[in-house]
Amino acid sequence: MPGIRVLKCPRCNRLFTKDRHPVCPECWRTEQENLDKVRRFLDENAGATAVQVADGTGVSEKDVIRFIKEGHLVAATGHAIEYPCDTCGKPISVGRFCPTCGEKLTKGLEGASKKIRRRADEDEDDPRWKKTGPGNS
């Protein structure tokens, strides 16, 4: 049927018609309940880390961290919650990486793009590109 999009829920693999949420209604409800639990816990335990929140609410640490990364919790509580940096595991409260890894990553990307640019320059100077072909004289 045109206009109706059927998606596979990334959480439970069930098929559902896409509404406004990226997961099926059932997972969405669970997610809202978990988010509620986490928010209530943080109201009473300001400054708790992701691990403490997971312990206190029964919501998996992975989900807690996802809530933080998606920005649900900072907005809700006004408190920064710490979770491990994706690269070195140092506690952070914003983004995916700690400042050190973030900087390293930015530099790494800059280096990579410079390398690509240099290679493009070399290609332009390559005499093979300037040859007009044999027998043209």
Q: Is the Cβ of residue 61 or residue 86 nearer to Zn ion in the bound state?
A: 86
Instruction: By CB under 5 A, name the binding residues for Zn ion.
Output: 9, 11-12, 24, 27, 85, 87-88, 90, 98, 101
CB of 16 to Zn ion, least distance (A): 7
d(CA 87, CA 111): 19
CB of 54 to Zn ion, least distance (A): 21
Q: Is the Cβ of residue 12 or residue 46 nearer to Zn ion in the bound state?
A: 12
CB of 39 to Zn ion, least distance (A): 22
Q: Is the Cβ of residue 55 or residue 66 nearer to Zn ion in the bound state?
A: 66
Residue closest to 68 by CA, chosen among 56, 51, 87, 44: 51
d(CA 26, CA 20): 13
Identify the burial level of 49 via C-beta atoms within 10 angstroms of its C-beta, where 0-12 means exposed, 13-18 middle and 19 or more buried. middle
Q: Which residue has the tokens 């896409």?
A: 18
CB of 35 to Zn ion, least distance (A): 15
d(CA 56, CA 47): 13
Q: Is the Cβ of residue 52 or residue 87 nearer to Zn ion in the bound state?
A: 87
